[in-house]
Amino acid sequence: MDMTADTQITDLQPTLARLRSAWQDSKPTYEQRRNDLIRLRDALKRRLDEMTRTVSSDFGHRSVHESRIADGMTAFNEINHLLKHLRRWMRPRRTAVGWRLLPARAQIRPMPLGVVGVIAPWNYPVNLALIPLATAIAAGNHVYLKPSEHTPRTSAFLRDLLADVFPPTRVAVATGGAELGAAFAALPFDHLVFTGSTAVGRKVMAAAAAHLTPLTLELGGKSPVLIADDYPIEKAAARIATGKWFNCGQTCIAPDYVLVPKDKRDALVAALRKEVWARYGEHFDNLADYTRIVNDGQFARLKGYLDDAKDRGIERVTLAGHADASQRLLPPTLLLEPGDDAQVMQDEIFGPLLPIKSYKTLDEAIAYINGRDRPLALYPFSNDNATIETILHSTLAGGVTVNDTLFHNAVSSLPFGGVGPSGMGAYHAQTGFETMSKLLPVLWQAKTTGADLLKPPYGKAKWLIDLIVR
């Protein structure tokens, strides 16, 4: 696998031109789209073990099972959903014209846009590259992919995988660092999908603005868990632990902090410790299932949060094991009652650190969430429907899983996207298909129509105008 052949910035525009010219010359039919998706799915299945080894080598160590679930299952699930529904989504959709325009008829016709750019992140480097790519292919587009430079082996794997499936005039891959990524974002795509941090998302949006390139921005933020007073703490802890320490917390929709009733905080700490011991061992000896931090820069950033918390006197609870910088191993760690000025409460954590904050009333907890940027995900825990409805009515997030974490992202029929600083637009399934299409409105005028009378001198059509203006 050649990781040395990074793309030259001077090659970006000619490659885009080739993709667009080929698309214009032969726009993908239903049969081609379907065959492309099947070949992509089958190629990934054949190389699934290679994928897990490659991703793990980029992380230093990543749980094989987490890679199979997060980068394998999710991609297969989405491609299968696209295949199942593609013919129906492609059909023109009849729509009413209203009595004033009868007997005309109208339809909405999904049309491919052209060339879609995809900038993928490092945390789920296969899933978050292939799902938007497959969706764009389903919508009849060609694709130019820029995978993350922080997982270079996986980026090379994707380049080789896609070269085996698609001709270079249908799908191309650009590899390289931040400078190339900035130039890629500035290309005149017909649509651009970016997944990453809010800070970089702002730069991508600024670069795309020069060409008025339509954007789907999948960003992040601080996704809260809100445990209501009635919910069993042990069950909440089990489900929070899954969402927080899967992929070592390097997930855009991982729980970023927990709001818990004041008198249940210590019980939650004990329950989370019990969960960590059950999963990774009391002495942190099940390290095969515990993913490492992806690189030294991310490890140093997270260590900086811990140092800042120590300087502020914030209580830290290490649930098992200890940090080892040589392995980029950072254990599950709780930070109790951090103030809003702590760095861990200002930035998206993207790691295994979990702040716990107690509250006295539900209204106080809701106000705390609403006092911050709208999150990418929200996780309310309550068995009382009225309480859940109060939380849903009073807050707004990109997506919600009730009484669990993460899993709304696994439902293919649900759109996935943020709101405000956590993102712009959405994709997955039909929402993604329509995002990467032009829903073209078409009106067929009848041979004989009253509209022919609507012309000066309007006095002759006064009776018709009186009829329709009401």
**Average pLDDT score over the chain:** 96
Q: Which residue has the higher pLDDT, 250 or 453?
A: 250
Q: Rounded to 10 degrees, what is the CA torsion of 142, 148, 152, 157?
A: -30
What pLDDT is attached to residue 450? 87
The listed CATH number (3.40.50.2300, 1.10.20.10, 3.40.309.10, 3.40.50.720) that belongs to domain 224-415 = 3.40.309.10
Domain ranges in the chain?
Answer: 9-219+421-442, 224-415
Residue 252 a catalytic site member: yes
Residue 197 to residue 303: CA distance in whole angstroms: 19
For residue 415, is pLDDT > 60?
Answer: yes
Tens digits of residue pLDDT in 45-70: 999 999 999 999 999 999 999 999 99
Q: Hey, which bits of 210-362 come out as E strands?
A: 215-218, 224-227, 257-261, 315-318, 333-336, 353-359
Residue 436 to residue 414: CA distance in whole angstroms: 16
What pLDDT is attached to residue 5? 79
- Are the C-beta atoms of 118 and 147 separated by less than 8 Å? no
Average pLDDT in the 152-171 region? 97
- Are the C-beta atoms of 395 and 378 separated by less than 8 Å? yes
Tens digits of residue pLDDT in 327-342: 999 999 999 999 999 9
Interaxial angle between packed helices 127-138 and 30-46, expressed in degrees from 0 to 180 and rounded to the nearest 10: 160
Residue 282 a catalytic site member: no
Tens digits of residue pLDDT in 436-450: 999 999 999 999 888
- Are the C-beta atoms of 250 and 294 separated by less than 8 Å? yes
> Which is it for strands 333-336 and 315-318: parallel, antiparallel or unpaired?
antiparallel
- Are the C-beta atoms of 130 and 80 separated by less than 8 Å? no
Integer angstrom CA distances of residue 457 from 260, 448, 453, 470? 72, 20, 10, 21
Residue 338 to residue 257: CA distance in whole angstroms: 10
**Collapsed DSSP state (helix, strand, coil) of residue 145:** strand
What pLDDT is attached to residue 1? 53
Q: Indicate the pTM of the whole model.
A: 0.94
Average pLDDT in the 73-89 region? 97
9-219+421-442 fold: Aldehyde Dehydrogenase; Chain A, domain 1 (3.40.605)
Say what percent of the chain tops pLDDT 70. Answer: 99
Choose, from 78, 218, 275, 434, the residue flagged as catalytic: 218
What pLDDT is attached to residue 3? 57
Residue 396 to residue 3: CA distance in whole angstroms: 42
Choose, from 66, 78, 248, 252, the residue flagged as catalytic: 252
Tens digits of residue pLDDT in 90-105: 999 999 999 999 999 9
pLDDT band with cut points at 50, 70 and 90 for residue 470: confident
Which H helix or E strand runs over 301?
Answer: helix 296-311
What are the two backbone dihedrals, phi and then psi, of residue 40, each rounded to the nearest 5 degrees? -65, -45
For residue 174, is pLDDT > 70?
Answer: yes
